[in-house]
């Protein structure tokens, strides 16, 4: 089964407008270096429009995503961003349930589930994040935790909806720590996730869903991850803030 690899940059709450433009222009100009890989940029919500404009000539070949959204289409939700607003600005993707959202902002699997359905209803592709903490891994609970997150976050999705999503496995202990999961550790969990997706839909559909790895992905460790059969790309934080590093990672998946 050949799945088109997808490498997304999660800029988190970094850069300013000028730097966002500069980074986007650099990625767009050099997009051809990783032509076989789908590229997505996920800037802070406030810069989505700027980044969309800076993609310019590479429109259609560099995707645009947000890092979070509310689940309602409009209403009295001060400070929130609605799915149709993201679509209006040209987003095709939205990261949901990132571990920082889960741990710092209290997002539960149930909340991620509602948002995932709302994203799909708005026509966005959700990148649904799951992953265990170090304590959970050391207690031998990785499979149980990831299983609970996948089942909870994706509950009630139809097979057709499941086929559209991207899943990101991001062990919390590997995010921003420089401590990447070994290719074997990552592959083991990716295979588990694909098995869960198969149970929620069918083996055929699960074989078409892209599962990204995230957590300290760098150009020098991406190739080993990319060789694993169930790793279909990367969700990149720190290294996505430099065009060289981001494209270096993308090339490793090409």
Residues that bind ligand PGA (CB under 6 A): 10, 170, 175-176, 214-217, 235-239
User: Nearest approach, Cβ of 201 to ligand PGA (angstroms)?
Assistant: 25
Chain position whose Cβ is nearest to ligand PGA: 237
Residues in contact with 82: Cβ distance below 8 Å, sequence separation at least 6, in sequence order: 69, 70, 72, 73, 74
Of the listed 98, 100, 132, 136, which one is catalytic?
98
According to DSSP, residue 139 is labeled T
Q: Which is nearer to ligand PGA, 68 or 216 (CB)?
A: 216
Complete DSSP assignment for 55-116: HGGGBTTEEEEES---SSSSSS-TT---HHHHHHTT--EEEES-HHHHHHS---HHHHHHHH
User: Nearest approach, Cβ of 39 to ligand PGA (angstroms)?
Assistant: 15
Q: Which is nearer to ligand PGA, 63 or 237 (CB)?
A: 237
CA–CA gap between residue 149 and residue 101 (Å, rounded): 14
Q: Which is nearer to ligand PGA, 82 or 129 (CB)?
A: 129
Of the listed 100, 107, 136, 170, which one is catalytic?
170
- Residue 188 annotated as catalytic: no
Q: How far apart are the first and last CA of the chain?
A: 16
User: Nearest approach, Cβ of 186 to ligand PGA (angstroms)?
Assistant: 13
- Residue 135 annotated as catalytic: no
Quick one: how far is CA 143 from the chain centroid?
Answer: 20
CA–CA gap between residue 2 and residue 229 (Å, rounded): 10
Q: Which is nearer to ligand PGA, 57 or 176 (CB)?
A: 176
User: Nearest approach, Cβ of 240 to ligand PGA (angstroms)?
Assistant: 7
- The residues carrying an active-site annotation are 98, 170
């Amino acid at each position: 089964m050949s799945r088109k690899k997808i490498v997304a940059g999660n800029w988190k709450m970094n850069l300013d407008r000028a730097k966002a433009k500069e980074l986007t222009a650099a990625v767009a100009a050099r997009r051809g270096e990783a032509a076989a890989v789908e590229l997505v940029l996920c800037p802070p919500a406030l810069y989505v429009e700027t980044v969309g404009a800076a993609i310019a000539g590479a429109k259609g070949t560099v995707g645009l995503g947000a890092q979070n959204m509310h689940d309602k289409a409009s209403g009295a939700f001060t400070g929130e961003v609605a799915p149709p607003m993201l679509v209006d600005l040209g987003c095709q993707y939205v990261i949901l349930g990132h571990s920082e959202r889960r741990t710092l902002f209290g997002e539960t699997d149930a909340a991620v589930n509602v948002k995932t359905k709302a994203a799909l209803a708005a026509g966005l592709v959700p990148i649904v994040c799951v992953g265990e903490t170090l304590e959970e891994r050391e207690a031998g609970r990785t499979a149980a935790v990831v299983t609970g997150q996948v089942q909870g976050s994706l509950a009630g999705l139809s097979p057709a909806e499941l086929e559209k999503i991207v899943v990101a496995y991001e062990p919390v202990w590997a995010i921003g720590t420089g401590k990447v999961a070994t290719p074997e550790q990552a592959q083991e969990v990716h295979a588990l996730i694909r098995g869960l997706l198969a149970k929620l839909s069918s083996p055929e559909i699960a074989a078409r869903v892209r599962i990204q790895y995230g957590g300290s992905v760098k150009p020098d460790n991406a190739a080993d991850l990319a060789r694993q059969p169930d790793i279909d790309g990367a969700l990149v934080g720190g290294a996505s803030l430099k065009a060289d590093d981001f494209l270096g990672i993308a090339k490793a998946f090409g």
